[in-house]
Structure 1
Amino acid sequence: MVQALEAFFDEPAEEAVRELWRRLDSAGIPSLASRGKGRPHVTFAVAGGIPARSRAELASELRLLSLPTIWLYTLGTFPTTETQLVLTAVVDAELLAVHSAIHEVLANRAKNPSAYYMPGAWVPHCTLSREIDTASLASAMSTLHPIRPIKARVREIGITDTATGEVDSLLVR
């Protein structure tokens, strides 16, 4: 079982991402929505497991942090074998501080943490489509270009079971 610590957006930002998903689906490119992959979000950490005690510590830490607005701004992809279309976030000091604080709590507690989400390697993003071929990627970028920046306020942070989609909310604002 893989668990992900995810930040979910306010309604206007969520609707803006869902509109991008609808545009992709209308162009015949499967978005996350068409694959039944839940709500728009940015992932802060992924691990094989995040124990209950760590969840309580994370919830306490999150209540103390000032969560920044996340600006989703750049349309892109990652150089991996699983082609994804993503909307990356503008990385600023506040966002990095929250990410670092989260990983301080998870250090030596999370089971099998993913290196892609560790400080120094993390690229904050909201996934628009996954597992698409190169031709579909080019079409998707053409369909969505130009992108308008999305101002996303964090309204909830929770741990998502990636197999079931069930979210254990740690913070709701």
Structure 2
Amino acid sequence: MADALQVFFDDRAEAEVRVRWERLTAAGVPSLATRTHRRHRPHLSLALGLAIPQKARADLRRDLALLALPDLWLYTLGTFPDGQHTLFLGAVTDTELLAVHSAVHDVLAGRVRGPAGQYLPGAWVPHCTLAQDLTVEQVAAGFAALLPLRPIRAAVSGVGITDTRTGEIDFLLTR
């Protein structure tokens, strides 16, 4: 599996994402909450790789303390055109969010084993996953269950590296 550099939300925003997970579940769409038994925390991923080494983590910890982390607006409901049928809340991609993304990738450049291309600058779509590996019918049911969509303002409560095998989080920054 992988190490994921993730941004976590304040309690209110996390609760709002969980409400959307529950609405999906009630509509018969398997959300992340049902697949991970509520262990999974709502988040936005900045980077993903097979391994993020300790030296890179220390440098990220130092640099994250200096960055102004903006509030996130989870503003759109979407899916990727990759055939995996993921349902997500898309974040508004403003200059502040792009600056944070660019800064962390400057630290990680050449240091992450097996970086995932879809999280690199220029390819990244900032989002909070609601459900994945759905059928086409489940995607349609998910849209029906979540529309109309009310945007979620999410303050950043922390940034950490999640081991996707165990769910363990190495927090680099907490607020």
Q: TM-score, normalised by structure 2?
A: 0.97
The letter for the 2-side match of 1:85 is: L
The letter for the 1-side match of 2:125 is: V
User: Greater shift after overlay, 146-155 or 28-37?
Assistant: 28-37
Cα RMSD, aligned residues only: 0.7
Please say if 1:24 is aligned against 2:24: yes
Corresponding residue SS for 1:112 = strand
Q: Distance in 1 between matches of 2:144 and 2:28?
A: 13
The letter for the 1-side match of 2:43 is: H
Q: Distance in 2 between matches of 1:136 and 1:149?
A: 22
Q: Distance in 2 between matches of 1:77 and 1:5?
A: 21
Give matches, 1:126-145, under 5 Å: 126-145=128-147
Deviations 1:94-139 (A, max 9, x none): 0000000000000011111111000010000000001110011001
Query: Which residue does the alignment assign to 2:15?
Result: 15
Q: How many residues align?
A: 173
Query: Which residue does the alignment assign to 1:39?
Result: 41
Give matches, 1:1-173, under 5 Å: 1-36=1-36, 38-173=40-175
**Cα shift at 1:82:** 1.2
Q: Give unmatched runs, 5+ long, in structure 2.
A: none
Q: Distance in 1 between matches of 2:149 and 2:165?
A: 31
The letter for the 1-side match of 2:52 is: I
Q: Give unmatched runs, 5+ long, in structure 1.
A: none
